[in-house]
């Protein structure tokens, strides 16, 4: 079975608190993208399962989220079957685009179908949340507000058909390091409710004025290039910023010609680029 595993951007990300267990609570707007990996799952007759990937940085990592998703589902349902899971990678790694979480969600959905486990979406989301805060979102990816640690998901309306330019430095950022630095970092001025309304109205100016990412200040301290790149993108594309904990930046526009020109510019400058659109 081959399944698509899409990326996402955080149009806005606001830290709302910190739990006793150390997890930060968030309120954020996730937009799914057409950019996707493909997860190929093949039954095996042997005594073990294998995860492979055409991105060498993920090869041999038994602790990756696909492995954990398979094991979590096995623990829940008790099946004995083994599989080869191959990740055809298109989503940049260590970028804040949710690639690992999306891959895990794809594995949960595919195995639930292949093995006829008959787990509900709510049961899969419960398992997914033990793997990562974004995994439940990717079980049914659509523009949404996520709250808590990702367990509360509310779909929202997006009036315009946005093109999305992604620009990423070669350097990645550790999510753990960014969150560790965020408690003492300044917060951005973010109005999530205003962004939700602006998306429904198609009001680009209001989106740009009210969006933000509380992980951006600590991320640019850890990797100053992010700050310089964000400022440059914002000059050309008002709706732009960093997604997740970085290091990828995004720009939303309805001007395909302008987006293609910018993609060529950043590609020539040595950045990892992708041109896609919001689903």
Instruction: Identify the pLDDT of residue 184.
Output: 84
Give residue 93's pLDDT. Answer: 85
Token reading at 216: 């951006």
How many angstroms separate the CA atoms of 96 and 244, rounded? 4
Alpha helices in the chain (DSSP H): 65-77, 99-114, 121-129, 135-138, 175-182, 192-201, 204-210, 216-222, 224-236, 256-268
Average pLDDT along the chain, 279 residues, taken 10 residues at a time: 96 93 91 97 91 73 79 96 94 91 96 97 96 94 95 97 97 88 88 98 98 96 96 97 96 98 97 97
Q: Return left, alpha or beta for 137; rule: phi > 0 is left, psi -120 to 50 is alpha, else beta.
A: alpha
* The two three-digit tokens of residue 255, written as one number: 């001007």
Q: What is the pLDDT of residue 59?
A: 56
Tokens representing 123 are 């049961």
User: In whole angstroms, what is the distance from residue 166 CA to residue 212 CA?
Assistant: 16
Which are the catalytic amino acids? 8, 134
pTM for the full predicted model? 0.95
Give burial (CB, 10 Å; 0-12/13-18/19+) of 47: exposed
């Amino acid at each position: 079975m081959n399944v698509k595993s899409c990326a996402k951007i955080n149009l806005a990300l606001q830290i709302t608190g910190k739990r006793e267990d150390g997890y930060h609570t968030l309120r954020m707007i996730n937009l799914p993208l057409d950019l996707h990996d493909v997860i190929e799952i093949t039954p095996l007759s042997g005594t073990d399962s294998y995860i492979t990937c055409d991105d060498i940085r993920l090869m041999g990592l038994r602790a990756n989220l696909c492995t954990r998703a398979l094991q979590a589902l096995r623990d829940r349902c008790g099946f004995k079957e083994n599989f080869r899971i191959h990740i055809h990678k298109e989503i940049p790694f260590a970028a804040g685009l949710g690639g690992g979480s999306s891959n895990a969600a794809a594995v949960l959905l595919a195995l639930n179908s292949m093995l006829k486990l008959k787990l509900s979406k709510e049961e899969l989301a419960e398992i997914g949340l033990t793997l990562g805060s974004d995994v439940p979102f990717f079980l049914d990816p659509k523009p949404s507000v996520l709250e808590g640690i990702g367990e509360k998901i509310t779909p929202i309306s997006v009036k315009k058909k946005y093109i999305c330019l992604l620009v990423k430095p070669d350097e990645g950022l550790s999510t753990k390091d960014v969150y560790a630095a965020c408690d003492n970092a300044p917060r951005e001025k973010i109005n999530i409710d205003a962004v939700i309304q602006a998306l429904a109205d198609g009001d680009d100016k209001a989106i740009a004025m009210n969006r933000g990412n509380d992980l951006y200040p600590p991320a640019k301290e850890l990797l100053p290039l992010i700050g310089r790149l964000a400022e440059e993108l914002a000059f050309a594309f008002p709706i732009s910023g960093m997604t997740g904990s970085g290091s990828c930046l995004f720009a939303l526009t309805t001007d395909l010609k302008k987006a293609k020109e910018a993609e060529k510019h950043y590609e020539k400058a040595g950045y990892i680029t992708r041109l896609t659109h919001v689903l």
